[in-house]
Amino acid sequence: MASRVVLAYSGGLDTSVAVRWLTEHHGAEVIAVAVDVGQADHRGGEDWELVRQRALAAGAVEVVVVDARREMAEEFCVPAVMANALYEGKYPLVSALSRPVIVRHLVDQARKHGAGTVAHGCTGKGNDQVRFEVGTRALAPELEVLAPARVWGMSRRDCIDYAAKWEIPVSSTLEKLYSIDENLWGRAVECGAIEDPWASAPEDAYVLTEVTQARPVAVTVGFEGGVPTSIDGRALTPHALIVELTRRVGATGFGRIDAVENRRVGIKSREVYECPAALALVMAHADLEDLTLERDVRHEKIRLEHRWAELVYDGMWYSPLKAALDAFIVESQRHVTGEVRLRFDPPGVGRVEGRRSPVSLYEHDLATYDDTDAFEHADAAGFVRLWGQSVATWAARQGVAPASVTSGRPGERGGAR
């Protein structure tokens, strides 16, 4: 009996060629698994029947289309909001969030179809191979992994010729401008003119953030326990909320990221992203945490958020440290409830204009500069004296002259010549 391989299938050139290649070179029966993570939700939806036909034409013995959009929204995007997740302070993890969703379904289908191997279409240069393979090993260590595009040595031209030879219908042409990965959380664009980090990214790289709205847009996002639950007072599922926010905020040009990032495989790459909903939600959520989290919790969380994003970027969604950080984050979200008012000024500027919460820790009576405030001014003197006690002792016994502003070194005189 031929061995069965479950392939992560997108309907594009590479994965279509991979179906045939695995059949030819491994004598495999290929089960193509296409996972809908919202890749077409911002542009009218994907034609999954076409994707199915293409996989069959390429030689798949079976095609499975999985609708994972709710899962993507609730189990991956929402935790990313709770973690205010931005890799290297910029990138909301678009591709990094979708791979563990896909992996979960590959493993599930491998078990259902008695397949001993899963395969993906990634090359050896990117992060996505890491996410597919480390994720698979975490969930199903018994499965083998194949990465045909890492070994077949075909150029884009070769792949197009290979598809033609086997009569695989593909829409790709040689003049493809960019490599694009998209899902509910946004769009990642690389290659072509973007590979010169000094060159401005061409306007046609952007789709979700084309400015079609001339006037400012105001949006109020409501959160309950850290989960975004409403827009302008209307309750929405996370999926519907992300789709609507992408459309409304993207129309003002907000959500573009142009960055050089450090890949896990040790190279720097220049990427552009457009993630209107992700950036708006993280901005709003972080602001609500400023209002509702106790100071030490907020500070510790800021330290851990960076690590969470790094783990997810590095393909460690299913890992013990990620699970432990999740426990911290979930506990921290109990009172992250309230509303944040955002304003977007075309082209591309967004900010928080106001926030409120029934469990706000902002105490007006303590904060006000009014002379009727409730703050115990007399307590401050003793508090500050003790706070600085150790520094005062150090200064008296060992302290050196203060650092010069111009030389930057302690005890050195700057300025006066």
314 near ligand ARG, rule: CB under 6 A: no
Q: Candidates 14, 71, 128, 133: give the one binding ligand ARG (CB under 6 A).
A: 128
15 near ligand ARG, rule: CB under 6 A: no
Q: CB of residue 10 vs ligand ARG: minimum separation in angstroms?
A: 9
Report d(CA 409, CA 401) in Å as an integer.
10
Q: CB of residue 212 vs ligand ARG: minimum separation in angstroms?
A: 25
Q: Which is nearer to ligand ARG, 96 or 279 (CB)?
A: 96
Q: CB of residue 221 vs ligand ARG: minimum separation in angstroms?
A: 25
Contacts (Cβ under 8 Å, ≥6 apart) of 385: none
Q: By CB under 6 A, what part of segment 155-184 binds ligand ARG?
A: 179, 181
- Continuous segment of H or E residues that includes residue 182: strand 179-183
Contacts (Cβ under 8 Å, ≥6 apart) of 141: none
Displacement of CA 317 from its chain's centroid (Å): 12
Q: Candidates 10, 23, 39, 95: give the one binding ligand ARG (CB under 6 A).
A: 95
14 near ligand ARG, rule: CB under 6 A: no
Q: CB of residue 182 vs ligand ARG: minimum separation in angstroms?
A: 9
Helices (H), 39-91: 48-58, 69-71, 78-82
Positions marked active-site: 14, 99, 128, 179
In our burial notation (b when 16+ CB lie closer than 10 A, e otherwise), range 182-201 reads bbbbbbbbbebebeeeeeeb
**CA neighbor of 188 nearest in space, from 207, 214, 164, 172:** 207
Q: How many Cβ atoms are within 10 Å of 64's Cβ, its own excluded?
A: 20
Copy the structure tokens of residue 379: 């307590």
Q: Which is nearer to ligand ARG, 12 or 253 (CB)?
A: 12
Q: Which is nearer to ligand ARG, 28 or 316 (CB)?
A: 316
Q: Candidates 74, 75, 108, 190: give the one binding ligand ARG (CB under 6 A).
A: 190
127 near ligand ARG, rule: CB under 6 A: yes
Q: CB of residue 13 vs ligand ARG: minimum separation in angstroms?
A: 12
- List contacts with ligand ARG (CB under 6 A): 95-96, 127-128, 179, 181, 188, 190, 271
